[in-house]
Structure 1
Amino acid sequence: MDHVLQACLNGGRPVGSHPALPVSSAQLAADAVAVAERGVAHLHLHPRDLVGLEVLAGPEVATAVAVVRAAVPGVEIGVTTGAWIQPDPVRRAELVAGWAGLAAGRPDVASVNVHEDGWQGVCAALHRAGIGIELGVHDEAAARALVAQGPPPGTRRVLAEVRPGADPVPEAEALLRLLEPLGLPVLLHGEDATAWPVLGYAARLELDARIGLEDTLLRPDGTPATDNADLVGYAVRTLRSLGPR
């Protein structure tokens, strides 16, 4: 595949929400190997602590990233900086700044949601730490704000998300139209009910896409997915069947 297919392995889903949801570093690494065998070279994961809660603290981030990197060397590893994990924007930026010294446990990229307070400070901390930025845009207001502000240094791509409840294709079209002036690569994805319709639309436009248990627990036919590798297998087939001939 010429375009990016990112596997989003766990997200913020609670422990037990799916039998195969990877939580520990070892589980994330096992899933990373399985999806890499299906052609994935980009990962997005949410490091957890010992009880399965999402964290931004350096030791837990470093452990998760280092264990996954050892299992799939050469694969891009991204993490979250979600404000729901640490609502204080100053403290959030401080935690992210601490990732600079993580060595083998330093992520390659991190996602920053444009609608969250303090997103610019988090982006600046990532850039100083030598970590690439993925800008999360989940509605038209965020897209307009990003275009007005301009992408911060170190931005690699925009993650355009079509949320549940939206009409997938019209909402995707609206986001893409607003983001076009940025001239940045766009990874288009949905969540739950919009995940597969948006992936199909991304395939037809030859855009980057993603899939995994963060975005959906179901296969395209609505039956429960076995695990992340199962979802990625369906995504690869979709991208090949709807993408360029």
Structure 2
Amino acid sequence: MLQGCLNGARPADAHPALPVTPYYLARDARAVARYGVTSVHVHPRCPKGLETLEPLHVGDAVAAIHAEVPGMEVGVPAARWVQPDPRLRVDAVIAWGRLGAGKPDVIAVNVHDLGWREVCAAAYSLGIGLELGVWTTADAVTLRKVGVPPGTIRVVAEPTVSGPDTAVAEAVRILRTLGHLGVPVLLHGEEDGAWPVLEYALRLGIDTRIGFEDVLVRPDKWLATGNEDLVKSALAIKV
């Protein structure tokens, strides 16, 4: 699977084509769907362009994508950097479960976040799938010790080092530490490490992702024109 990560935590002025509003997120979801992308990960924003867990804005973004691309899996993060209080993150997730067409299909939860297991339990109780973010080998050890929570649909291995060589080496270490967990693993990198890690994932035959959250340039180092351009570039890679 190639997932589209459409905007991430980037500021609105990071790229002229960065989708921020529900309309533009839905537009980009439709664009990448034409190339076979069936899952997108998005960071909803408030009217000021800032990331938010507020149900109104999360629901608007998710519902817009569902309306534009029926059947598209839409994931959003329950992000510690947006809401540091784990109790309030749990409250937000519970509120998302009442959003109808705006209910996320998947919630991304990082296993190094305080209260991550409680967030996972809340999502599972509402029938929302889980993506477990593993940034380091220490995170991988934690997940191996604790076990994969019910409702987990994939583990996302995401080395945060951005050097092309070091990112792949860290990806190897994380995957080896994770071992076989019984759920799919999606592997991706970021910035200068995004394309090397994506190519490594393709060689392994495991899921990966691409989009403006991870990188703004194509493999040839030219600035991408949009998320569609990045997806086309990823699909053109031969391994």
Query: How many aligned positions are there?
Result: 237
**Structure 2 Cα separation of the partners of residues 101 and 82 of structure 1:** 19
Output the TM-score relative to the length of structure 2: 0.97
Equivalent AA in structure 1 for residue 222 of structure 2: T
Equivalent AA in structure 2 for residue 150 of structure 1: G
Residue of structure 2 equivalent to 1:106: 103
- CA displacement 1:80-134 (0-9 Å, x = unmatched): 1110010001111111111111111101101000111111111011111110000
Aligned residues: CA RMSD: 0.9
- Runs of 4+ in structure 1 deviating by more than 4 angstroms, as ranges, are none
1:162 maps to 2:162? no
Unaligned stretches of 5+ residues in structure 2:
none
Shift of 1:183: 2.2
Residue of structure 2 equivalent to 1:17: 14
Tell me if the contact between 1:164 and 1:193 (Cα under 8 Å) persists in the aligned partners: no
Residue of structure 2 equivalent to 1:53: 50
Alignment of 1:70-219 (within 5 A): 70-165=67-162, 167-219=166-218
Residue of structure 2 equivalent to 1:41: 38
**Structure 2 Cα separation of the partners of residues 169 and 9 of structure 1:** 22
Equivalent AA in structure 1 for residue 221 of structure 2: G
Tell me if the contact between 2:94 and 2:126 (Cα under 8 Å) persists in the aligned partners: yes
- CA displacement 1:163-189 (0-9 Å, x = unmatched): 234512221111111112312210000
Equivalent AA in structure 2 for residue 62 of structure 1: G
Tell me if the contact between 1:10 and 1:214 (Cα under 8 Å) persists in the aligned partners: yes
Secondary structure at the aligned position of 1:133 is classed as strand
Unaligned stretches of 5+ residues in structure 1:
none
Instruction: Give the stretch that moved more between structures: 207-216 or 219-228.
Output: 219-228
Secondary structure at the aligned position of 2:13 is classed as coil
User: Identity of counterpart residues, as a percentage?
Assistant: 53
Shift of 1:138: 0.5
- CA displacement 1:189-231 (0-9 Å, x = unmatched): 0010110000000000000000000000011111111110000
Output the TM-score relative to the length of structure 1: 0.95
Shift of 1:155: 0.3
Secondary structure at the aligned position of 2:4 is classed as strand
Tell me if the contact between 1:147 and 1:181 (Cα under 8 Å) persists in the aligned partners: no
Instruction: Give the stretch that moved more between structures: 189-198 or 169-178.
Output: 169-178
